[in-house]
């Protein structure tokens, strides 16, 4: 059903996106990155209250479409962004997407990172502060799927639209949710493994998972996706083992060693989270199994591209952080400008897949910041208007 | 002469007693001096001890302040504490996500509970920027409480008794309306700077510190995140018995802590209010020192004032008992006395020996002297008894004495000899003197040329004859004789010839009268003859006198042959010379000697005038 929806909506979205691109091209300055219309699934209500993205995807009206570059704003709207942190490349890439788009759109952006996923309280306080500071819109990447909901409700009640980006939330007070499907990551990654196995002529494969911490929402999504893909696979896919653990390199290496000790001779593929998969490289090499065991990652980073180039990791799913950022700020501006007639409940950025075949030609501008980019957390259009 | 031997014995006793007395006096004086010096030293030590104690107190307080500030900073700078207290302050009201709220409280309380235990803090309170209490932990010894504040409907405490490492749970929490020393709202505006000061709480003095909780906060106007104050950490640490013990042990003094109300803690329980008596200028600003009496015991004390905003909050007194000074002094005196006594006992035999070494020879000497004094020969062995080294001087003295004795004896013999010869000489000289005296008497009563009585002797004889005349009633007569023609002899042949003639005249006169009559020369060629015991009848007596006068006239007028010797040989001169004679009769005391002589002289001149060589009687013309 998902596939059918994709095909129906894709043509329409493409046309719309092409028009938007032509219209907005003249207004862009030379130094602002242009981007192609971004393929997304837009999910429209009616939906159950408190739905997650994956629930919405499952139960909502899903439109396969492209999000084009929005026209610059008519006024320098102030938009606050609440990030869990900016300590890993994903969120840094997101800041790149936001700031570059803020420049293009001519809106003010302030990014307020908390100190990490254990720092919900700071995010709540920042939310409170940005509400008090009367930003025109708030974009939150909530640390908690539920605990941020009262703050979101409060902003909404005070007339401030709140958008959600990347991290999922169950709040019904959000204006638009922009994310990618966590389950989709699991599915896409596993489907690549299945296709690869088929190419290798394998009728049955054994896989092991290093998904990350067991209690994290994204881990659960990934595992659920993998399970679903394995179940629906044309070949037999056995999940031999799932080793949960914090996503640090040393911890994951140890877990990988355990996997190899327990099932070393039977494992065909190891699927790991962005920070987990690199942890398996050395143990596999050390066990002399790098020819047989293929490591695949649930996420893409700069480091991951190197691993793919070296053949240490075979493929990685791309959640397209930069694209997510672009979509969310474009959506916010469009909303503030009153350009959106029908609000989607959720916009899911379609995932990309990088492997040894396409890594050389892949468009990384949709997923990472360019080389030499240093994190910028604020942008004021007035300051840069002279440029 | 007696020499009491007791005296020598006494000398020995005196020497011994003197030695003991001097020893004792010296020992006492030394002990007094030393004890004074020692007590002064201990006094100074006591002062130094208290000064050191004061320094230790100040250092300890400063150290406590630093530790407390460090602990406060550690807490205040904990990651996201500002956000946490904001969250607790904010969400506690909203009753949203009770589980998360509780876990947050749980973590924070656990945190401060551990910090408080580790840093020995008495109380920790955390206030949000509005001054509302968020959470606290109180570490009172009898009851360790920690908890937080529920703000609806009215604020109340939710507390649990927590030990080190304890954790809040829904089971151990209970509701109370107040916790001692913990205020629901911060009293006054929230301090924006670090502050550490003294405070009094429930009769206890404590070091209280304020440390602001800082964190990023969005400025509503600039929309920039700036570092701003988000709350306040209040910590307090009591100056409790532990503090007192610490100071007392470190500084070896008594320590009392006072609030402005009086005694708080300390180890001098009877000292209730700081005593500033005797402090020259009682001042709360500086350390004062004086002496105080607590329960009859004297102490030196240093008072360390503790101020907050120039207001005296409390005082710490460090005290050192004078008893210790006295005890130490007495101990030292005791030791000295022991040493002195030991020395005395050691000295006594030596003193005995010394006294004997002096007294024994002296005793011997006194025996020798006594023997010598009583004229006896002293025993030789007495001297040999002295013959030991210590009495060399005494032997010398004895021998000198004996030598002196012999010399004195010789001298006495010589003096006796001289005495006897002196007596003989004196006798001789006395005799000679007698003779000389006689001669002198003679010379004074007689004429030197003729050896006839002179006028003075004549007067004596006249007085006698006059008295005799009165008794016998017999007449006497005085015959005045003056030589005529005498002067030419003198002029021609010199005085030598005259003198010879006069001597011849004296011989002729003397030969012409009775032995009882007196012939006298009055000078020059004047002679007087006094006839006594003549007749009672005047006429008879006058006839008798006339006869004699005539006889004299005759005798005198005979030629004088004078042999003169000179360098050329002898020369014979014959000289013819007559006399003019005046006679005067006397009886009884009818006329004085002078009168009678004048009369005789007058009669003699009459004879001269009458042609010389005649006799004339004085005639009374009535």
Which residue out of B82, B87, B217 would a mutagenesis test of the A interface target, given it has the greatest number of A Cβ atoms within 10 Å? B87
Question: Rounded to two decimals, what is the model's pTM?
Answer: 0.62
Structural contact between residues B616 and B607, judged by C-beta atoms closer than 8 angstroms: yes
| Per-residue pLDDT tens digits for B136-190 | 999 877 788 899 998 877 888 999 988 888 888 988 899 998 888 889 999 999 9
How confident is the model at residue B281, as a pLDDT?
64
Which of B223, B224, B231 is the best mutation test for A, with the most CBs of A within 10 A? B223
Query: B519 lies in a domain?
Result: yes
Across A110-131, average pLDDT? 90
B368 versus A327: which is more confidently predicted?
Answer: A327
What residues of chain A lie within 8 A of the CB of B104, using their CB? 121
Query: Has residue B302 been placed in a domain?
Result: no
Confidence at B385, pLDDT banded by 50, 70, 90: low
pLDDT of residue A12: 39
Interface check for A85 against chain B (CB to CB < 8 A): the answer is no
Q: Is residue B461 part of a domain?
A: yes
Is residue B57 included in any domain, yes or no? no
- Dump pLDDT digits (tens) for A213-254: 887 778 988 999 999 999 999 999 999 999 998 878 899 999
Whether chain A has a CB inside 8 Å of the CB on B87: the answer is yes
Interface list for A 149-178 with B (CB within 8 A) = 150
CB atoms within 10 A of CB B169: 10
Q: What does the pLDDT average to over B415-434? A: 89
- ipTM over 0.85 threshold: no
Q: State the Cα–Cα distance between residues A4 and A64, nearest whole angstrom.
A: 9
CA of A99 to nearest chain B CA: how many angstroms apart? 16
The Cα-based distances of B618 to A290, B326, B477, B478, B603 in angstroms read 214, 130, 11, 10, 5
Q: Is residue B239 part of a domain?
A: no
Residue B283: the pLDDT is: 61
- Total of domains in chain B: 1
Angle (nearest 5°) at CA A159 between B100 and A348: 70
pLDDT for position B256: 93
- For B302, left (φ over 0), alpha (ψ -120 to 50), or beta? beta
Residue where the block lists tokens 């001298």? B411
**Per-residue pLDDT at B361:** 73
Selected residue of A81, A122, A381 to mutate for chain B interface (largest B Cβ count, 10 A) = A122
Q: Which residue of A has its CA nearest to B86?
A: A125
Q: Residue B183 falls within a domain, yes or no?
A: no
Of A323, A310, A278, the C-alpha closest to A297 is: A278
Active site residue ranges of B: 525
Reported confidence tier of residue A30, pLDDT bands at 50, 70, 90: very low
Q: Are strands A269-272 and A294-297 parallel, antiparallel or unpaired?
A: parallel
B238 contacts chain A (CB < 8 A) = no
- What average pLDDT does range B559-580 have in this prediction? 83
For position B380, what pLDDT does the model report?
63
pLDDT tens digit sequence for B115-143 = 888 888 899 999 999 999 999 999 877 78
Does residue A118 sit at the B interface (CB-CB below 8 Å)? no
Give the span between the Cα atoms of B451 and B459, in whole angstroms.
16
The answer, yes or no, to whether residue B382 has pLDDT greater than 70, is no
Question: What average pLDDT does this structure show over B104-125?
Answer: 89
Q: Are the beta carbons of A121 and B225 separated by less than 8 Å?
A: no
DSSP reduced 3-state for B58: helix
Q: What is the DSSP string of A99-156?
A: HHHHHHHT-EEEEEE-SSTT-HHHHHHHHHHHHHTT-SEEEE--SSSSTTHHHHHHHH
> Residues of chain A with pLDDT > 70: what percent?
90
Closest alpha carbon within chain A to B79: A115
| pLDDT at B235 (0 to 100) | 94
pLDDT category of residue B379 using cuts at 50, 70 and 90: low
Looking at the complex, does the CB of residue B223 fall below 8 Å from at least one CB of chain A? yes
Q: Are A121 and B217 within 8 A, CB to CB?
A: no
CB under 8 Å to A307, separation ≥6 — which residues? A277, A278, A281, A297, A313
Q: What is the pLDDT of residue A6?
A: 40
Q: Nearest chain A Cα to B215, which residue?
A: A122
Shortest CA gap B76–chain A (Å): 15
Mean pLDDT of chain B: 85
Report the C-alpha gap between B203 and B214 in whole angstroms.
Answer: 33
Confidence check: pLDDT of A280 > 90: yes
What is the domain extent for residue B574?
455-617
CB spacing of B104 vs A121 below 8 angstroms: yes
Q: With cut-offs at 50, 70 and 90, classify the pLDDT of residue B358.
A: confident
Is B319 or B33 the better-scoring residue by pLDDT? Answer: B319
Domain membership of residue B336 (yes or no) is no
Q: How confident is the model at residue A24 (pLDDT cuts 50, 70, 90)?
A: very low
Chain B residue numbers touching A122 (CB-CB < 8 A)? 80, 83
Q: Is residue B370 included in any domain, yes or no?
A: no
Say whether residue A119 is in contact with chain B using an 8 A CB cutoff.
Answer: yes
Please tell me which of the candidates B80, B90, B96 has its beta carbon nearest to residue A122. B80
Per-position b or e across B183-208, b if 16+ CB within 10 A of its CB? ebebeeebeeeebbbbbbeeebbbbb
Please give the residue of chain A at the shortest CA–CA distance from B104. A121
pLDDT level of residue A193 (50, 70, 90 thresholds): very high
Burial string for B280-300 (b: 16+ CB within 10 Å, else e) reads: eeeeeeebbbbebebeeeebb
Does residue B232 contact residue B213 with C-beta atoms inside 8 Å? yes
For residue A28, the model assigns a pLDDT of 41
Count Cβ atoms below 10 Å from residue A139 Cβ, excluding itself: 29
Q: B207 pairs with which residues across the strands?
A: B198, B237
Strand runs labelled E in B284-373: 288-294, 297-308, 311-321
**What are the pLDDT digits (tens) for A74-89?**
999 999 999 999 988 8
Closest in B97, B100, B217 to A129, CB measured: B217
Residue B3 has pLDDT above 70, yes or no: no
Burial (CB < 10 A; 0-12, 13-18, 19+), residue A192, is buried
Q: Which residue of B has its CA nearest to A144?
A: B100
In the structure, what pLDDT confidence band is assigned to residue B402 with cuts at 50, 70 and 90?
confident
- Any B CB within 8 A of A125 CB: yes
On whether any CB of chain A is under 8 Å from the CB of B430, the answer is no
pLDDT tens-digit readout, B205-249: 999 999 999 988 888 888 888 899 999 999 999 999 989 999 999
Query: In the prediction, which pLDDT does A153 show?
Result: 94
- Would you call B84 and A129 a contact, using CB atoms and an 8 Å cutoff? no
Alpha-carbon gap, residue A296 to A304, rounded angstroms: 10
pLDDT of residue B378: 63
pLDDT, residue A18, reads 41
**What's the CATH number where B561 sits?**
3.30.70.270
Predicted pLDDT of residue A4: 38
């Amino acid at each position: 059903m998902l596939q059918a929806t994709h095909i129906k909506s894709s043509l329409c979205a493409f046309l719309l996106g092409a028009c938007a691109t032509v219209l907005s091209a003249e207004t862009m300055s030379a130094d602002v990155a242009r981007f192609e219309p971004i393929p997304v699934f837009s999910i429209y209500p009616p939906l159950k209250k408190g739905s997650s993205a994956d629930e919405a995807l499952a139960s909502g009206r899903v439109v396969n479409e492209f999000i084009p570059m929005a026209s610059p704003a008519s006024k320098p709207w102030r938009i606050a962004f609440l990030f869990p942190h900016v300590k890993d490349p994903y969120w840094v890439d997101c800041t790149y997407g936001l700031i570059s788009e803020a420049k293009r759109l001519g809106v003010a952006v302030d990014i307020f990172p908390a100190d990490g996923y254990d720092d919900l309280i700071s995010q709540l306080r920042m939310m409170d502060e940005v509400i008090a500071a009367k930003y025109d819109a708030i974009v939150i990447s909530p640390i908690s799927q539920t605990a941020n909901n009262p703050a979101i409700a409060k902003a909404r009640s005070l007339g401030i639209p709140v958008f959600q980006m990347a991290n999922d939330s169950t709040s019904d007070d959000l204006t638009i949710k922009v994310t990618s499907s966590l389950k989709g990551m699991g599915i896409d990654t596993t489907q690549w493994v299945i296709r690869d196995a088929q190419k290798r002529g394998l009728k049955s494969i054994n896989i092991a998972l290093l998904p990350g911490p067991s209690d994290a929402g994204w881990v659960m999504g990934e595992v659920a996706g993998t399970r679903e893909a394995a179940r629906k696979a044309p070949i037999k896919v056995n999940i031999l083992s799932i080793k949960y653990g914090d996503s640090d390199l040393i911890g994951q290496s140890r877990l990988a060693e355990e996997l190899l000790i327990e099932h070393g001779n039977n494992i065909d593929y190891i699927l790991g989270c962005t920070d987990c998969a690199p942890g398996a490289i050395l143990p596999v090499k050390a066990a002399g199994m790098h020819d047989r065991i293929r490591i695949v990652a649930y996420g893409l980073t700069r480091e991951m591209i190197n691993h793919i180039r070296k053949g240490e990791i075979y493929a990685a799913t791309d959640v397209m952080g930069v694209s997510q950022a672009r979509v969310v700020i474009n959506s916010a501006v469009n909303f503030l400008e009153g350009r959106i007639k029908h609000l989607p409940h959720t916009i899911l950025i379609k995932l990309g897949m990088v492997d040894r075949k396409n890594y050389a030609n892949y468009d990384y501008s949709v997923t990472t910041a360019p080389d030499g980019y240093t994190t910028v957390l604020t942008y004021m259009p007035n300051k840069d208007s002279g440029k | 002469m007696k020499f009491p031997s007791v005296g020598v014995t006494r000398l020995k006793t005196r020497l011994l007693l003197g030695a003991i007395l001097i020893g004792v006096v010296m020992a006492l004086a030394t002990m007094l001096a030393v004890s004074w010096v020692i007590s002064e030293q201990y006094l100074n030590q006591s002062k130094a001890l208290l000064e050191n104690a004061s320094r230790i107190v100040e250092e300890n307080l400063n150290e406590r302040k630093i530790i407390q500030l460090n602990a406060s900073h550690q807490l205040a700078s904990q990651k996201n504490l500002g956000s946490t207290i904001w969250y607790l302050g904010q969400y506690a009201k909203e009753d949203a996500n009770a589980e998360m709220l509780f876990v947050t409280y749980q973590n924070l309380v656990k945190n401060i509970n551990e910090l408080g235990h580790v840093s020995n803090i008495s109380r920790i309170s955390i206030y949000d920027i509005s001054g509302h209490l968020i959470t606290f932990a109180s570490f009172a010894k009898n009851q360790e409480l920690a908890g937080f504040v529920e703000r609806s409907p009215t604020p109340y405490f939710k507390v649990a008794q927590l030990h080190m490492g304890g954790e809040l749970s829904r089971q151990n929490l209970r509701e109370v309306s107040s916790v001692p020393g913990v205020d629901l709202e911060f009293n006054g505006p929230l301090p924006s700077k670090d502050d550490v000061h003294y405070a009094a709480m429930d009769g206890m003095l404590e070091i209280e510190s304020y440390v602001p909780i800082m964190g990023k906060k969005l400025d509503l106007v600039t929309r920039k995140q700036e570092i701003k104050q988000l709350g306040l950490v209040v910590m307090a640490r009591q100056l409790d018995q532990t503090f007192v013990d610490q100071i007392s042990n470190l500084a070896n003094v008594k320590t009392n802590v006072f609030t402005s109300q009086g005694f708080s803690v300390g180890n001098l329980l009877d000292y209730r209010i700081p005593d500033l008596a005797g402090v020259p200028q009682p001042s709360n600003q500086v350390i004062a020192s004086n002496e105080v009496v607590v329960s009859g015991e004297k102490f030196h004390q240093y008072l360390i004032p503790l101020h907050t905003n120039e207001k005296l909050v409390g005082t710490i007194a460090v005290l050192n008992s004078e008893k210790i000074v006295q005890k130490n002094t007495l101990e030292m005196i005791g030791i000295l006395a022991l040493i002195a006594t030991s020395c005395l006992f050691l000295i006594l035999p030596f003193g005995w020996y010394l006294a004997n070494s002096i007294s024994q020879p002296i005793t011997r000497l006194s025996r020798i002297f006594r023997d010598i004094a009583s004229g006896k020969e002293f025993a030789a062995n007495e001297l040999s008894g002295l013959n030991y080294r210590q009495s060399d001087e005494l032997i010398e003295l004895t021998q000198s004495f004996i030598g002196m004795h012999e010399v004195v004896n010789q001298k006495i013999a010589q003096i006796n000899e001289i005495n006897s010869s002196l007596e003989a000489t004196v006798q001789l000289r006395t005799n000679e003197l007698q003779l000389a005296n006689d001669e002198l008497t003679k010379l004074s009563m007689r004429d030197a040329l003729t050896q006839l009585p002179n006028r003075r002797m004549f007067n004596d004889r006249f007085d006698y004859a006059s008295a005799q005349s009165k008794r016998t009633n017999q007449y006497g007569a005085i015959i005045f004789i003056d030589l005529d023609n005498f002067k030419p002899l003198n002029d021609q042949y010199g005085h030598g010839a005259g003198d010879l003639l006069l001597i011849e005249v004296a011989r002729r006169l003397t030969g012409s009268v009775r032995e009882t009559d007196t012939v006298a020369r009055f000078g020059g060629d004047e002679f007087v003859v006094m006839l006594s015991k003549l007749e009672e009848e005047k006429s008879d007596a006058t006839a008798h006198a006339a006869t004699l006068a005539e006889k004299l006239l005759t005798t005198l007028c005979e030629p004088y042959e004078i042999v003169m010797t000179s360098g050329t040989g002898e020369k014979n001169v014959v000289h013819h010379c007559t006399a003019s004679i005046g006679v005067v009769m006397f009886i009884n005391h009818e006329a004085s000697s002078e009168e009678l002589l004048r009369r005789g002289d007058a009669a003699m001149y009459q004879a001269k005038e009458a042609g010389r060589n005649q006799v004339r009687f004085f005639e009374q013309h009535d």
